Amino acid sequence: MSVAKSRWANDDPETEAIIAQRRREKEEKRRAKVEKQRQLEEASRVPAPTKSADTAQGVNGDVGPPKKRRRLSNDPDAPSAADEVLKSEEPKKQSSLLRFPVSEWGPCRHVDNFERLNHIEEGSYGWVSRAKDITTGEVVALKKLKIENSPDGFPVTGLREIQTLLEARHPNVVYLREVVMGNKMDDVYLVMDFLEHDLKTLLDEIREPFLPSEIKTLLLQVVGGLDFLHSQWIMHRDLKTSNLLVNNRGEVKIADFGMARYYGDPPPKLTQLVVTLWYRSPELLLGADKYGTEIDMWSVGCIFGELLTKEPLLQGKNEVDQVSKIFALTGPPNQQTWPGFRSLPNAKSLRLPPTSASPAGNPPLLPRSRFPYLTNAGLDLLSSLLALNPASRPTAQQCLAHPYFREDPRPKPKEMFPTFPSKAGMEKRRRHHTPEAPKRGQDAPELDFAGVFGGAPGGDSGEAGAGFTLRLG
């Protein structure tokens, strides 16, 4: 792909509004073309075939926006409501040439078209509910967008979630069916395919960790979805197990595009306060304002570690403690493993002990004792994803080609994946006691590193790291 500059190269809401307007106009033109094509097809009495979710999204990653009308059924074999309508209109079509088809691209439907069944997460503010489409009877997930009003009343940042999700049609990305409105301008809801689980809830529920073959199936799908996002110049910026949805067919879908955005080459200046703390990369923690898709790859490393142990890998209490926990796992950075880390804003005052010896390899291998059941290939992949130096992390595409996925045991076929009772489908899902994603639009806090390493207040006392201590000064 050769897009030179991001469409989102700056965060100026006015520019973004103009860009959004242009995109909408382009999209409308495209839809008009599709509608014209459909009318031509109808005129020649060739009925359009029904599209299932998977075919509409592309089966093997070869994707694009849905080419035909909107999908109305989850069941690929079931005739959709639209098909029924088409069938009943068949005789009329034969007798009359002049038709005025009702465009389906009118105003958004009202949220009253959905009956709310239950909130999915207990303790949350009811942002995501399981709901039933009253017209079709289909069960969907309804998410109320958190829209902060911008000064001109145009909720640009909230629209990013819609815009990136609309463009991200892929089997491993949650399917956005439509956007519906409540009574107010900022009552905007996403209607998505409903999935029975999220990976965090699943990991909490299962007694034993996933089998290596199951971990590979899950991870391959996450990285496959991410590879697609990155190929579309979308950074997710909040990958974590609670944002990965899993259904009872062993399919994983990336969700929650609340922090996602387009990026460019060279990367624009971006907000540093992204990604939930436990999944946040060292360059973000050390204050980098230029960063790229490597931040998502770091989060994938954290998710890989969590799949192996069933526990979040790096549970820092605050930013500084998070850095300390990272260095305890990876060993501290040095000029060989991470050239240039010193120039990051928060790293300037970091004083590492001169004698600190880093483990061999570049990036160094993580301590085998932490992952005793992982093969050498697996440890190699995990270590590279959790490389301190972003440049040493593999891209999603490189990750997919890693020998770990080709060695035995092979990834388990999705059809063989175990099924689990759904928490979201019946009772509420237990609210996870994990850090939340940063709030949009906030600035990164001033980090006070002083006194944290070595057990002073503010950090995790007793955290001496992997045989080293860190001093700031």
Ligand X SMILES: Nc1ncnc2c1ncn2[C@@H]1O[C@H](COP(=O)(O)OP(=O)(O)OP(=O)(O)O)[C@@H](O)[C@H]1O
Strand 176-181 vs strand 234-235: parallel, antiparallel, or unpaired?
unpaired
Q: Which residues in 74-112 are b (16+ Cβ under 10 Å) and which e? A: beeeeebebbeebeeeeeeeeeeeeeeeeeeeeeebebe
- Looking at 23-31, 98-106, 120-128, 328-336, which segment touches ligand X (CB under 6 A)? 120-128
Q: Specify the DSSP element, H or E, that contains 131.
A: strand 128-133
**Angle subtended at Cα 1 by Cα 51 and Cα 231, rounded to the nearest 5 degrees:** 55
Nearest approach, Cβ of residue 162 and ligand X (Å): 12
| Helix/strand/coil percent split, the chain, to 5 | 35, 10, 55
Is the CB of 383 or the CB of 422 nearer to ligand X? 422
Q: Figure out which of the listed residues 72, 111, 192, 218 binds ligand X, where binding follows CB under 6 A.
A: 192
Q: How far is the CB of 127 from Mg ion (least distance, A)?
A: 9
Residue from 57, 73, 243, 337 touching ligand X (CB under 6 A): that is 243
Question: Residue 284 Cβ, how far from Mg ion at the closest point, in Å?
Answer: 18
State which residue, 124 or 376, has the beta carbon closest to Mg ion: 124
Question: Measured from the CB atom, is 123 or 266 closer to ligand X?
Answer: 123
* Closer to ligand X by Cβ: residue 234 or 437: 437
Does the active-site annotation cover 238? Answer: yes
Q: What is the separation, in whole angstroms, between the first and last Cα of the chain?
A: 45
Residue 444 CB neighbour total at 10 angstroms: 17
| Bridge partners for 116 per DSSP | 131
Figure out which of the listed residues 8, 114, 189, 194 binds ligand X, where binding follows CB under 6 A. Answer: 194
Choose the one of ligand X, Mg ion, none that binds residue 198, judging by a C-beta under 5 to 8 angstroms depending on kind. ligand X
For residue 443, what are its two tokens?
Answer: 């600035």
Tokens coding 471: 């001093």
Residue count, binding to ligand X (CB under 6 A) = 22
255 counts as binding ligand X under rule CB under 6 A: yes
Residue 236 structure tokens: 């997710």
Residue 221 or 243 having the CB closest to Mg ion: 243
Selected from 111, 141, 452, 472, the binder of ligand X by CB under 6 A is: 141
For 233, left (φ over 0), alpha (ψ -120 to 50), or beta?
A: left
198 counts as binding ligand X under rule CB under 6 A: yes
Where does this chain bind Mg ion (CB under 5 A)? Answer: 243, 256
With CB under 6 A as the contact rule, the residue among 158, 250, 258, 394 that binds ligand X is 258
| Residue 245 binding ligand X, by CB under 6 A | yes
8 A C-beta contact, residue 188 and residue 200: no
Contact region for ligand X (CB under 6 A) — 8-16, 26-34, 104-112, 252-260? 252-260
Q: Calculate ∠ Cα 203-410-308, nearest 5°.
A: 30
Catalytic option among 238, 256, 296, 460: 238
Amino acid 147 reads: I
205: tokens are: 């529920």
Catalytic center residues: 238
Residues that bind ligand X (CB under 6 A): 120-121, 127-128, 141, 143, 174, 192-195, 198, 242-243, 245, 255-256, 258, 424, 429, 436-437
